[in-house]
């Protein structure tokens, strides 16, 4: 496990290049699919279930790539990108714990969208509460997530599942 409990944008970019957890291990996607600017808190304790928590942020700017194409004349951040950010964070947590393998999203239970992210927003905050991790031959993280924009919760996802795989050949 890494001793750090917060990560800067440069740290996240190092993770995207495979430099943080080592080649062949958990990576975040590179920009433009990297949906966070910093992790402000990561811990194996705390959270809703007492098994770990991650808090991360994305700065919203009107020039973000998705506002130009989703939708023309009605710009809004696609909900699937917020959901993907939550999966990204669960995979990051597994790599941060020191587990080997490449991350793959495996699903989610109930997902709810009750708001939107517009170009006028300032900041998105993600909160991931770890429910369970399996750190054996099978490496799996199960978590609940929430996304807020400027302090208002707008997305929730229960049962986010991410696995780490040393081989994805049969995936």
Q: Catalytic amino acids?
A: 70
Category of 3 on φ-ψ map: left (φ > 0), alpha (ψ -120 to 50) or beta: alpha
Phi, psi at 92, each rounded to 5° = -60, -45
Cα–Cα distance, 158 to 16 (Å, whole number)? 25
Q: What is the DSSP string of 25-41?
A: S--PPPTTT---SEEEE
If 0-12 CB within 10 Å is exposed, 13-18 middle and 19+ buried, where does residue 158 land?
A: middle
Q: What is the DSSP string of 124-153?
A: EEEEEEEEEEEESSSEEEEEEEEEEETTEE
Phi, psi at 128, each rounded to 5° = -115, 125
């Amino acid at each position: 496990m890494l001793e750090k409990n917060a990560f800067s944008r440069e740290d996240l970019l190092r993770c995207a290049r495979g430099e943080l957890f080592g080649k062949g291990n958990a990576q975040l996607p590179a920009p433009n699919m990297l949906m966070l600017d910093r992790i402000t808190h990561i811990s194996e304790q705390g959270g809703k279930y007492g098994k770990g928590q991650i808090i991360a942020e994305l700065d919203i700017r009107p020039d973000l790539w998705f506002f130009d194409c989703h939708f023309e004349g009605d710009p809004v951040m696609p909900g699937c990108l917020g959901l993907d950010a939550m999966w990204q964070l669960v995979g990051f947590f597994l790599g941060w714990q020191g587990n080997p393998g490449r991350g793959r999203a495996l699903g989610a239970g109930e997902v709810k969208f009750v708001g939107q992210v517009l170009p006028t927003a300032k900041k998105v905050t993600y909160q991931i509460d770890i429910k369970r991790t399996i750190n054996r031959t099978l490496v799996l993280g199960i978590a609940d997530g929430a996304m807020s924009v400027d302090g208002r919760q707008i997305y929730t996802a229960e049962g986010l599942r991410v696995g780490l795989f040393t081989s994805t050949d049969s995936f």
